[in-house]
Amino acid sequence: MSKQIIDLKGKTVLVTGAAGFIGANLVKRLYNDIENVKVIGIDNVNDYYDIRLKDYRLKELGEYESFEFIKGSIADKAIITEVFEKYKPSVVVNLAAQAGVRYSITNPDVYIEANLIGFYNILEACRHYGVEHLVYASSSSVYGSNKKVPYSTEDKVDNPVSLYAATKKSNELMAHAYSKLYNIPSTGLRFFTVYGPAGRPDMAYFGFTNKLVKGEKIQIFNYGNCKRDFTYVDDIVEGVIRVMQGAPEKETGEDGLPLPPYAVYNIGNNQPENLLDFVTILQEELVSAGVLPSDYDFEAHKELVPMQPGDVPITYADTTALEEDFGFKPSTSLREGLRRFAIWYKEFYY
């Protein structure tokens, strides 16, 4: 797909979900890599997980002089309008969303608010303030229980198995409609199981670590027969930054009407790992980092259990399109990524 190159130098970028795991890492990279960039961050800093992690990330971001943080929800239209009116961002990266598959079963309201109403507010603002490129987080969960692997963006994704997945698919449809109607260049990114230091405690690697430290049992779903395309956060951020700089080209179709400047990519490691192998590597790295004692009895703390509602047995990204259009493919090995997480965990919690 032909791209409109966007030079981020000296630009104003809005990052929603800036206190989140991917958001905070993205802001840091933008400041470290791009000259004279100005980043506006917005986040409602909710208590879905340990607020200390969000405070820790925001404290790091506070070191960048031109970074401005607004505490608020993207579902609040007045706040979004005010932000766009005041800062007029050239590029918007929408990472604010209520995450988590299992949580969407018990707390559906927050998913509708953040993922649908919030995203609608962002689209409306992009429409009225002439944004050069909207990049937004979708999710590998949109593939539902598709049997064909690896998952390709060419596949049909009409069978979500959780409300979370349905909201992410909705984001892609809404973005397509706005791209078509208002010629807004937009790119959706389907992230695959993101992990790393200062990540989300509701993710398996973090939750497992917390339980093992307390001497509790960890539950391994589908009797250990799940496979996940674990993607290290730095690889995700590298992909986002590259995509930000290449917006889908505005083109006119044969009928003289604009073709929607719209694209969707997978960002995954393209190498699914068995959950039992993953747990073994995690254990080894936690012992190596001094989080757990060398004589820790792992077998006594493992329990194999059936699949959870809304879960899928495998996630596996076909990243061909990302490689072809942006020359990028995630490359951090699972051991290297979990090693960095274990070292960070030791520093943060001990």
Q: In whole angstroms, what separates CA 16 from the centre of its chain?
A: 11
Confidence of residue 337 (pLDDT cuts 50, 70, 90): very high
Take residue 297 and report the two structure tokens written for it. 């009895």
Average pLDDT over residues 281-306: 94
Tell me, what's the pLDDT at 270?
Answer: 87
Confidence of residue 174 (pLDDT cuts 50, 70, 90): very high
- Taking only the tens place, the pLDDT of each residue in 71-114 is 999 999 999 999 999 999 999 999 999 888 788 888 899 999 99
Distance of alpha carbon 95 from alpha carbon 17, whole angstroms: 5
Is 1 a residue whose pLDDT tops 80?
no
CATH for the stretch 3-192+232-269+317-325: 3.40.50.720
Average pLDDT over residues 289-301: 94
Distance of alpha carbon 91 from alpha carbon 87, whole angstroms: 11
- Taking only the tens place, the pLDDT of each residue in 134-162 is 999 999 999 988 889 899 999 999 999 88
Query: Angle at the Cα of 241 (from 237 to 246), degrees rounded to 5?
Result: 145
R_g (Cα) of the chain, nearest Å: 20
Beta carbons of 258 and 252 less than 8 angstroms apart: yes
Tell me, what's the pLDDT at 307?
Answer: 83
Looking at 31, 49, 151, 164, which residue is catalytic? 164
Tell me, what's the pLDDT at 112?
Answer: 95
Average pLDDT over residues 270-290: 94
Tell me, what's the pLDDT at 340?
Answer: 98
Average pLDDT over residues 44-73: 96
Tell me, what's the pLDDT at 284?
Answer: 96
Tell me, what's the pLDDT at 317?
Answer: 94
Beta carbons of 237 and 22 less than 8 angstroms apart: yes
Tell me, what's the pLDDT at 343?
Answer: 98
- Taking only the tens place, the pLDDT of each residue in 211-268 is 999 999 999 988 888 889 999 999 999 999 999 999 999 998 888 888 999 999 999 9
Share of the chain above pLDDT 70, in %: 100
Output the 3-class SS for 25-77.
Answer: HHHHHHHHHCCCCEEEEEECCCCCCCHHHHHHHHHHHCCCCCCEEEECCCCCH
The one-letter amino acid at 10: G
| 296 classed as catalytic | no
Is 306 a residue whose pLDDT tops 80?
yes
Tell me, what's the pLDDT at 221?
Answer: 86
Q: How many other β-carbons are positioned within 10 Å of the β-carbon of residue 245?
A: 17
- Taking only the tens place, the pLDDT of each residue in 184-214 is 999 999 999 999 999 999 898 999 999 999 9
Q: How many other β-carbons are positioned within 10 Å of the β-carbon of residue 63?
A: 9
For CA atoms 39, 44, 50, 51, the dihedral sign is positive
Tell me, what's the pLDDT at 102?
Answer: 80
Tell me, what's the pLDDT at 214?
Answer: 95
Phi, psi of 105 (to 5 degrees): -80, -35
Mean pLDDT of the chain: 94
Q: Which residues contact 333 (CB under 8 A, 6 or more apart)?
A: none
Q: In whole angstroms, what separates CA 267 from the centre of its chain?
A: 9
